[in-house]
Amino acid sequence: MSINFSKSSCLRIGPRNDVVCATITSLTGHSIPWTSEIRYLGVYRVKFRTAKCSLDAAKRGFYRAFNSIFGKIGHIASEEVILQLVSTKCIPILLYGFKVLPIRQSQLRSLDFMINRLFMKLSKTNDIRLVHLCQDLFRFHLPSELLQQRSKKFMDKIK
């Protein structure tokens, strides 16, 4: 099997992740560069002491999809229609691949905050209590809840 050197890179995870490593060179003289972030199956892994993933690309994809929807039907459609489109089109972009990866509590709070801001934009308020009432009213689940459900379902399948 041949290695595609233009798409390959090395990433170091562990307590010595910040130590400079020797260059890995093939028999043909091509070298594989060391990077601080790699993309594997659509999920970005980051150089860190423990296994860690980056949410930046997922957040960008979510905002791109939401702004596309909201820009076309924002003030014409009802909140129910917008939230249904967000649930079916935007949330899967945000959560892709994260049910099997370790996600920190701070990252989960960051994902939940994105949804809270979305509700603030739709309801034109900054009151978080009103946002939570709207989420309950529309039965809209936060990403932390969805990831917990999906992880449990995944773990039940592999047992």
Q: Give the tens place of pLDDT for each residue, 85-99.
A: 999 999 999 988 776
Distances in Å between the Cα of 148 and the Cα atoms of 27, 69, 99, 100, 143 are: 46, 27, 8, 11, 8
Confidence of residue 47 (pLDDT cuts 50, 70, 90): confident
CB atoms within 10 A of CB 72: 10
From the list 99, 111, 121, 120, the residue with the least C-alpha distance to 143 is 111
Angle at 58 between CA 122 and CA 152, to 5 degrees: 95
pLDDT tops 90 at residue 123:
no
pLDDT tops 70 at residue 151:
yes
Within the chain, strands assigned E span 24-25, 31-32, 37-40, 43-46, 53-54
